Amino acid sequence: MAPLNGIRLIDLTHMLSGPYGTMLLTDLGAETIKVEPPGRGEGTRQLLAGDPDYSRHGMGAYFLTLNRGKRSVCIDLKSEEGRAVFLDLVRKSDVVFDNFSAGVTERLGIDFASLSAINPRIVTCSVTGFGGDGPDPNRPAFDQVVQAMGGGMSITGLPDGPPLRSGIPIGDLGGGLFGALGVLAALQERERTGVGRHVDVSMLDVQISLLNYMGTMHLMSGHVPERLGNGHFVHVPYNTFRTADGHIIIACIGDAFFERLLPVIGRPELEAPDYRRQPGRYADKERIERIVGEELVKDSSASWLARLREARVPCGPVNDFAQAMSDPQVVARDMVVEVPLSQGGTVRMPGNPIKITGGKLSGSEPDRFTAPPELGHDTDEVLETLLGYGPERIGELRRAGRVG
């Protein structure tokens, strides 16, 4: 039994931030009903859908990954009849999760106040660019917008280059992750109070939170940090280093690791007394890292990593995607999984990173994922078995285009 078995989630999300949050909750066992517009579905269905490399059976990699394990029900939320069907679903559900633009749920009449009036136990979550209040919450926002506004881009990149966004869309993914976390907190509170709450997650707020101790350092001192590339503002050596056939990372956090590094590198210049403590190393950071780099380029990544690991120096290869997803540690942790497709075959994708002592969340059994849904695949079954609608009513709604 997965921990969220028995929790029914209505998924109104689209694109990346919201679907990622609901994917995480689905992976944890929630029964997720994805509500989509009839006829076209949510926008991510179209992304890469026709690409021969990045699609299967007309579904692109975005949709395949983010919607594994979910069910699809098509409802026209802009019509009175469709909204009535949706409210019937809300009466039998625990969570409604959306990432509409600010104000959309109010215009549709499906905001927390409206939904809690018919189901006081409902938990709602909205992930938006800027949250539900403030001086201008209605501005459109996507991943790179909040990465830029949140400060993280200003410290990403080389000192003499432009600010760079993270290669991973951390603005979107962070919003979905914190949305899922907020839902879990609200569900836990509901266990005590019997009443649901609204979770308001701003993607910009998340980026500010992720500044963490560096944000505190700025607020304490007034100093504005600058780009350091892959170096560090405290630890030395801590950087990316070229080898004879690639790049590796060495991260000497603390004096003890530097002591372990010395015999591996074997350069007498690094034995200077001033280098035994962090302040002395940081004062001569460029020279130390240049010397380390001069040695590393003489041999292969594999050779250096073997020696560094034997000396218990923190290090690692700079893997590309193929190397990362075939790493024995990654494979052993079931982080590349096979997900079935409704029309046959499977697709491999990143797995569920949440583990509990003693095994996976489902016990000693591996995660089992079900197929991403075809558009409207579950409409009739959900309306009939969950809501008790008869064939005549379902037919009328379908003919009117209110469901699909």
Of 57, 218, 232, 247, catalytic: 232
Residue ranges in 104-169 assigned as alpha helix (H)? 104-108, 112-118, 143-149
**CB of 179 within 8 A of CB of 103?**
no
Q: Which of 212, 199, 207 is closest to 25 using CA atoms?
A: 199
Told to judge if 232 belongs to the known catalytic residues of this protein, a careful annotator would answer yes
Q: How far apart are CA 340 and CA 347, in angstroms?
A: 6
**Residues near 305 by Cβ (< 8 Å), separated by ≥ 6?**
248, 315, 316, 317
Q: Position 332: which residue type?
A: A
Exposed/middle/buried for residue 403 (C-beta within 10 Å: 0-12, 13-18, 19+): buried
Lookup: tokens for 20: 């990622």
**Interatomic CA distance for residues 13 and 211, integer angstroms:** 26
From the CB of residue 72, how many other CB atoms can be counted at a distance below 10 Å? 24
Q: Tokens for 153?
A: 């881009």
Q: Which residues are identified as catalytic?
A: 232
